[in-house]
Amino acid sequence: MWCRHDLTEFYGFTIMVRTYARKTQRGAGINYSEEDLEKAIKYVRNGNCTTRGAATFHSVPRSTLKHHILGTRGKGFTSKNSKEGGGGGGGSGVESFLSAAEEEEIGNCLKVLDRNGCGLSRQGVLVLVQCYIRQNSIP
C-alpha cells in the first residue's frame, strides 16, 4: 500500500489536500452590515470625515460608499418621466435626455429593424437616434 510520503518521493511533488479551510475572510464577499454602511454614509454626509476615512473605519468598500452617497447605485429607471415617477428613481447613472416613452419608441424601431435583418452597429444606432431627435425637434 502506498502512503502519501511514498507518492511524494515518487512523483517529486506534494499532493494537495482535498478539503481547504479558508484562513481569512478577505475576498469572501460582503464583510460589512447595512448598519455599518448607513453609519459610514451618515458620517460623510455630516462632514465628520472623508469617504476614505469612513470606509476604513466602518470596514465598507470605498467605492460602495461613494456610489451610495452619490446615488449612482442601480435602483431603477433614469429616464425622464419614468415609471417610478419624477426622473431618476435613485439612479443608476446620468439622467436620460429622452423620456421613457421616447426611449421605448426608439427601442421598438431597433427591434423591428433587427427582425427584418437590418441589425445596426453602435454607430448606426447613434445616427438613428440623432435623426429621431432632429425630426421630433427635441432640444
Per-residue pLDDT tens digits for 54-106:
999 988 889 989 988 888 765 554 545 444 444 444 555 567 788 888 889 88
Containing H/E element for 108? helix 100-115
Q: Which residue has the higher pLDDT, 87 or 49?
A: 49
Q: What is the rounded CA–CA span in Å between residue 114 and residue 125?
A: 11
Residues 6 or more apart in contact with residue 44 via CB below 8 angstroms: 50, 51, 54, 65, 69
Task: Give the predicted TM-score (pTM) of the model.
Answer: 0.40
The domain spans of the chain are 30-70, 100-135
**Residue appearing with cell numbers 431603477:** 76
Q: Is 30-70 assigned to CATH 1.10.3720.10?
A: no
By residue count, the chain amounts to 139
